Structure 1
Amino acid sequence: MLGAVGLALQTSRQDGRALVAARGSIDLHSSESLRECLAQLIDSGETEVVVDLTAVDFCDSSGLNVLVRAYKHARARNAALIVTGAYGRVENVLRTTGLDRFLIRES
């Protein structure tokens, strides 16, 4: 597990895709570790990166920014970035901002 204060990230690969399971809060202090993790996976040639937010209880604007930038970076590399497992406050902020339309795919 990698992570900053408040956020733990576990990366695994299966069925031709990379899965990043996040746990905790994604905020100004922890979003950089998520950004680095996603950029590394996309730059290494992964064609599908799934970010599982099931165990994330909070995501602020810095976390949303990381997800949007990673989504754009993945598209520029002919890859996909998908968010799953968002619920509660995290799902609400994704839906309120409209980011759910291109980030969330129900698994």
Structure 2
Amino acid sequence: MGLALQTTRQDGRATIAARGSIDLHSSDELRSRLTELVDAGERDVVVDLTAVDFCDSSGLNVLVRAYKHARAQNATLTVTGAYGRVENVLRTTGLDRFLIAEAGDGAAP
């Protein structure tokens, strides 16, 4: 299926809604978009994975690197909407502890 990305901005937050699979073939597109947003001055970036059905290690790598890049630029990057296999891989790897926004912390639901 590939990966489709849509970026919206509202109330000082940039949200990237991803749809499809984040894998070796599509992760570069996500990496580029996240890097561009942070480098352009966005300080609150949310990756909405509600419509993502698969994320492999290359996708996880992109999320971790983007998280670190955002922190280095005094920005935040969080993930929302992960469910099923995607949520499971985030929890199994422990990445949920710093990537997944908890309810009430100001991140998008």
Name the TM-score class by shorter chain: over 0.9
Q: Deviations over 1:34-54 (max 9, x none)?
A: 000000000000000000000
Unmatched 5+ stretches in structure 1:
none
Amino acid at match of 2:65: R
Count of aligned positions: 103
Q: 2:92 aligns with which of 89, 96, 106?
A: 96
| C-alpha displacement of 1:14 | 0.2
Whole-angstrom CA distance in 1 between matches of 2:23 and 2:42: 25
- Structure 2 residues without counterparts, runs of 5 or longer: 103-108
Q: 1:23 matched to which residue of 2?
A: 19
Query: What is the CA distance between 1:88 and its match in structure 2?
Result: 0.1
Q: 1:11 aligns with which of 3, 7, 23?
A: 7
Kindly report structure 1 stretches of 4+ aligned residues shifted beyond 2 Å: none
Q: TM-score, normalised by structure 1?
A: 0.95
Q: CA RMSD in A?
A: 0.7
Is 1:46 the counterpart of 2:42? The answer is yes
Question: Displacement, 1:13?
Answer: 0.3
Match of 2:30 in 1: 34
1:71-90 paired onto structure 2 within 5 Å: 71-90=67-86
